Amino acid sequence: MQELQGFGKMLVVVGILIVVVGLGLMFAEKLGIPFLGRLPGDIYIRKRNFQFYFPIVTSIVLSLILTLVFYLISYFSKR
């Protein structure tokens, strides 16, 4: 039973983090702050009848952020 309570707490924390990140993205877009999706280094090719967008730098940044978040979750769940 103790394990379920710990898992429930972890789900609540993850949910709160998702809400905070979502609100941050919404307000950053409304304020005109360039954030993820249009970082320098992302590949964007536009020709007459062709568009290609590959967000490589955005993918790397998201990967680093998610790695840090999951590391912190695992660190604090072990305590």
Instruction: Give the Cα separation of 12 and 19 in Å (integer).
Output: 11
Q: Answer whether residue 5 shows pLDDT above 80.
A: no
- Which residue bears the tokens 């702050």? 33
Q: Give me the half-sphere count of Cα atoms (radius 13 Å) on the Cβ side of residue 71.
A: 6
Torsion of CA 62, 29, 25, 20, to 10 degrees: 160
Q: For residue 26, what pLDDT band results from cuts at 50, 70 and 90?
A: confident
Q: Answer whether residue 2 shows pLDDT above 70.
A: no
Contact call for residues 39 and 60 (beta carbons, < 8 A) = no
pLDDT digits (tens, 9 = 90+) for 50-70: 999 888 888 898 899 889 988
pLDDT digits (tens, 9 = 90+) for 34-46: 666 677 888 889 9
For the chain, what are the domain ranges? 1-32, 36-79
Instruction: Give the Cα separation of 23 and 77 in Å (integer).
Output: 25
